């Protein structure tokens, strides 16, 4: 009798554990902010250098998207991130599916979410960044960002980093982002390997 009770308790404990694990994997994808970032600052807008794949007269995603006020966080080594405001001038949503740069061997499209422990953590965005038709998507510290996972060298303030974005339609656009000193954006990275972002400040 005593043994049966113990077994039942163990089963209950296991069941609760499984439920808790399932709960962990749910991510809050509501961080797609279309904040009213003022993009009126002239001069810092970089036009998309589109590589059209020739689909008639239809504009590619690359031709419709600009990245304004782009910048990359200065860092000696390890990881960094790129920010800016993506603007979509077309009448259809566009999706950024990948990013590449000579500054890092691996880049990921990240969102920042609050986990069950109340910590701000970064996770890859399933399906990429969606920039709404005629709208903007802000990439900013504490929110969506382009993660440079493995820097190939130090990023010093004043340097310029090329970043190439690939869109869902296969078109690509290259942008240039200046490096700036910034002490924030030190959220933990909650990925497969459980890496934590260096506080490069
Ligand atoms: Cu990140």
Distances (CA, A) of 78 to 93, 138, 154, 187, 199: 33, 24, 9, 14, 10
Q: How many domains does the chain have?
A: 1
Ligand 1 centroid vs 59 CA: distance in angstroms? 30
**Mean pLDDT of the chain, nearest integer:** 77
> Distance between CA atoms of 138 and 12, rounded to whole angstroms?
44
189 CA distance to ligand 1 middle (Å): 6
**Domain interval for residue 56:** 31-182
CATH number for the domain including 160? 2.60.40.1890
Whether the full predicted model's pTM is greater than 0.75, yes or no, is: no
Q: How confident is the model at residue 183 (pLDDT cuts 50, 70, 90)?
A: confident
Distance 16 CA to ligand 1 centre (A): 31
C-alpha of residue 4 to centroid of ligand 1, in Å: 48
Residue 41 pLDDT > 80, yes or no? no
Task: Report CA(149)–ligand 1 centroid distance (Å).
Answer: 8
CB 131 within 8 A of CB 86: yes
Tell whether 197 is covered by a domain.
no
| Residue 7, domain member (yes or no) | no
């Amino acid at each position: 009798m005593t043994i049966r009770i113990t077994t039942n308790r163990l089963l209950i404990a296991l069941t609760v554990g499984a439920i808790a694990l399932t709960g962990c994997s749910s991510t809050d994808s509501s961080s797609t902010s279309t904040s009213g970032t003022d993009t009126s600052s002239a001069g810092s807008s970089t036009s998309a250098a589109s590589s059209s794949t020739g689909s008639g007269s239809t504009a590619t995603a690359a031709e419709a998207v600009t990245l304004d006020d782009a910048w990359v966080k200065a860092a000696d080594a390890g990881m960094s991130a790129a920010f800016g405001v993506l603007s979509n001038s077309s009448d259809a949503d566009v999706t950024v599916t990948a990013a590449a740069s000579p500054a890092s061997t691996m880049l990921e499209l990240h969102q920042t979410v609050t986990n069950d422990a109340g910590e701000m953590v970064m996770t890859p965005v399933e399906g990429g960044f969606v920039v709404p038709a005629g709208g903007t998507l802000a990439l900013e510290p504490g929110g969506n960002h382009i993660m440079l996972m493995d820097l190939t060298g130090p990023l010093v303030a004043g340097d310029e980093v090329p970043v190439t974005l690939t869109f869902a339609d296969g078109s690509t656009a290259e942008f240039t982002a200046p490096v700036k000193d910034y002490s924030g954006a030190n959220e933990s990275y909650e990925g497969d390997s459980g890496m934590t972002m260096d506080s490069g400040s």
